[in-house]
Amino acid sequence: MGKGLHQLGKKWNPITGCTKYSDGCAHCYALDRLIPLMKSEKYRNGGRVTCHEDLLDLPRKRKSPGTFFVNNMGDLFHDEVPLSFLKELFRTMNECSRHRFFALTKRTSRMLECAPDLNWTKNIWMGVTVESAKYNFRIDDLRKVPASNRFVMFEPLIGPVGSINVDGISLVLVGVESGTGFRAMDPSWVREIRDQCITAGVRFNFMQYAAVDPRPLGRELDGREWTELPHQDSQLSLF
């Protein structure tokens, strides 16, 4: 789950619920803070993984081109999401070429398992979460997926990532945990990522320092804000 991806577009949640998977999940904003408060029928199962077939057509109803963040309330490639449902979800994205779709996962082994059975049209942006150097392998896994556009979400950034290979990556976003009990971030970890992105010519977006909602500490790094995102008037690429 990537809280910072709200910057990228409208949320589309045909899958709700998740289970904690790696270090970055310890203070999950969805499972721990949002889902317990939701009274909607869609969240009747709480944090249990649930597929909503009635929401698969939602992007088709929006006629003007737009951007969707897919499944911010769960992990698209959770083991409990059937491949048949993933195929239908991808079919919607394939047929809605006027829209862009940003999808994110920590479960890269499942992503690789399912990838050959899915149609990776150019309007699909696939991303992985990397919270520390321990999970840099997810970037390598992402490169194996036949997506035209790939991005990496270093959020929540809870440790340094060291040297990273961003070949084939179109966009890098960095953010830290928010809310009570957030784990602090050393700005040097962000600079390390930023400098490698600049060298490689990869777009870099620094979303936030750690914050206790609703009192953000800001997003300025070394005297400026880093807000590089895909142009909103471009459906298929960064340029």
Q: Domain ranges in the chain?
A: 3-20+27-225
Q: What is the pLDDT of residue 6?
A: 52
pLDDT digits 0-9 by tens, 128-174:
999 999 999 999 999 999 999 999 999 999 999 999 999 999 999 99
**Residue environment code for 126-136, b if the CB has 16+ CB neighbours within 10 A, otherwise e:** bbbbbbbeebb
pLDDT digits 0-9 by tens, 83-140:
999 999 999 999 999 999 999 999 999 999 999 999 999 999 999 999 999 999 999 9
Q: Which two tokens stand for residue 6?
A: 């709200």
pTM for the complete prediction?
Answer: 0.87
Contact 141, 165 (CB under 8 A): no
Hey, how many other C-beta atoms are within 10 angstroms of the C-beta on 120? Answer: 17
**Residue environment code for 192-209, b if the CB has 16+ CB neighbours within 10 A, otherwise e:** bbbebbeeeebbbbbbbb
- Residue 43 has what DSSP assignment? G
**CA 134 – CA 116 distance, rounded (Å):** 26
Distances (CA, A) of 193 to 3, 8, 165, 174, 232: 19, 20, 10, 8, 24
**CA 76 – CA 73 distance, rounded (Å):** 9
Compute the half-sphere exposure of residue 54: CA atoms within 13 Å on the CB side of its CA: 2
Q: What is the mean pLDDT of the chain?
A: 86
- Rounded to the nearest 5 percent, the helix, strand and coil shares of the chain are 30, 20, 45
Q: What is the pLDDT of residue 8?
A: 58
